[in-house]
Copies of this chain bind each other. A is one copy, B any other.
Amino acid sequence: DFEAALAEVKPAFGAVTETLEEYRLNGILEYSDHFRHLLATCKTLVEQVRSSEQTPLLTCLLEGPLGSGKTALAATLGLDSEFPYVKVISSDSMVGYSEAGKAQRIAKVFDDAYRSSMSMIVLDDIERLLEYVAIGPRFSNAILQTLLVLLKKQPPKGRRLLVVGTTSAPAVMEDMGIAATCNVCLHVPALREADVRAVLAALQAFAPTDLDAAVASLAEQEVPMKRLLLLVDLARQGVPDGQHISLQRWIQVLTDLSLS
């Protein structure tokens, strides 16, 4: 019985941290004022759950384009929170599960969280948890309903819970009622020109004199963090460690990959 087992459970702290670190292998670059403010707002929410007795449950949705850094941000919050229970629910670990199996596992994580005085749950890539596809559209209503209920369910007396969801399909979250159910909804943007420059500079990818030209070579207005990191990595192929990427190599990589 659940009520009976409602004693505080402290999972081994190290293990959890390790997993969270995997979601932000490259650390976190605070590449703009806007990003720093976003981070601060998120931390306010963590603080609220830690300190307020009036807010046993707080739910926050991070939405933004593919690869903009949503999961890395959520993982960072989890690491910094130092809550006794922090858990990422990701479809990675549920390949091959049935709809009911996934719903059950999600509910299990919430049940575990309710046993800890303060908890944080990351619902990573909600559209993937929901098995969503735009054609149809199709998705698992069983999992959706489970989420909608859990996002509103009050933890037992004296327990507090922060739920952070990530999604790159905010319109779908609206239609499904997930956005409206969350208390707060924050946008994690792709990189604009100044952000790209800041990231390239921080990565020391180019000689300072080449930086402007390197940024200008990117045709697209906005680049997600993930894509920029990949392009730099590809361009570094064959470049000796510690040396800069030449503009020529950079432009070749950009050309090759958009020859599609």
On A, residues with C-beta under 8 Å from B are 22, 37-38, 41, 44, 47-48, 51-52, 54-55, 63, 66, 91-92, 95-96, 100, 103-104, 107, 128, 131, 133-135, 137-139, 141-142, 144-146, 148-150, 152-154, 172, 175-177, 180-181, 183-187, 229-230, 233-234, 236-237, 256-257, 259-260
Contacts and interface: CB of A to CB of B under 8 A. Distances in A.
Given A52-B233, A260-B185, A96 B91 contact: no
Given A183-B230, A237-B48, A141 B141 contact: no
B180 A66 contact: yes
A141 B138 contact: yes
A142 to B, nearest CB: 8
9 contacts: A41-B256, A41-B257, A48-B237, A54-B233, A128-B149, A133-B141, A133-B144, A135-B137, A184-B260
Top 8 nearest A-B pairs (CB, nearest first) are A185-B260, A41-B256, A54-B233, A131-B145, A186-B260, A91-B149, A187-B260, A138-B141
B55 A230 contact: yes
B91 A187 contact: no
A131 B141 contact: yes
A148 B149 CA distance: 22
Nearest to A22: B154
A134 B177 contact: yes
A109 to B, nearest CB: 12
A95 B2 CA distance: 13
Q: Which among A44, A92, A149 has the highest number of chain B CB atoms within 10 Å?
A: A149
Given A95-B149, A185-B260, A186-B259, 13 more contacts: A37-B259, A41-B257, A52-B233, A54-B229, A91-B145, A95-B107, A95-B146, A96-B103, A133-B141, A133-B175, A135-B137, A135-B139, A184-B260
Contacts of A134: 175-177
A171 to B, nearest CB: 11
Given A230-B55, A237-B47, A153 B186 contact: no
Contacts of A257: 41, 184
A48 B180 contact: no
Contact of A95 (B47, B48, B150): B150
A177 B133 contact: yes
B135 A176 contact: yes
Contacts of A44: 234, 237, 256
A233 B49 CA distance: 11
